[in-house]
Structure 1
Amino acid sequence: MLPTDPGRRLRGSVLATVGFVLSPLSWWNDLLVNVPLAYAFATVVALAARDQFLPALVVGYWLTNVVGLVLLHVGAQDVVSEEGRSYTKRALLTDVVLAVGYTVLVVAAVRVGWLGLPAGLPG
């Protein structure tokens, strides 16, 4: 049964849309959203500790994917369900496994030289 509260449906729609944009479920989001966000995060971290660029890139990328998947699930539940079901441990585990898989791809991109620190970064 669809929820009758328009505020809940609107909130769910916004959360699901933001979640989809951050999630690894679209072919374009990594190139246009997640990798640039993770890269910006890693660059800021590298200003303090240059050798932490790759770990920060991995953490930033992983976080964007996990947050996206969680927001997508929570938002979709608000849109399609009247009762407030909780976000299960199984759903979280699935989201984490997906995020780790995509993170392995980003680490590989750094290792083969497709991603690296900006040339003009001080330090």
Structure 2
Amino acid sequence: MKLKEVKEILNAEVMVGEEKLEEEVFTACGADLMSDVLASRDEKAVLLTGLTNVQVIRTAEVVGDIKCIVFVRGKTPGEEILELAKKAGLVIMKTKYPLYIACGLLYSNGLTCRSGE
């Protein structure tokens, strides 16, 4: 699935990385515990979370295969987070949907999760 499709499905606003919306992603991970994200095996993933702190960007950098972070429940990350995301080459979006609904929408449109195998 292309990131532009993720944007459309979630009716999301792109905050960083508009130029990367043609990139493909294959899996998604929804979590507020970054230790769960670190334990995931997802490839070319979208991370959906309600956390808006620096640890989210740092976790994405450590995992290495997260291409996009979607902040749920309409949460808006601060400028420091957006700047770190730009430097890390991440796409940042936000959606009004809660985590459960956002994950369900992506799953029902074909985006899967390898972590649950």
Fold equivalence (TM over 0.5): no
Q: Using structure 1 for the length normalisation, give the TM-score.
A: 0.25
Q: Which has the higher helix share?
A: 1
The structure that has the greater radius of gyration is 1
Q: Which has the higher strand share?
A: 2
Q: Using structure 2 for the length normalisation, give the TM-score.
A: 0.26
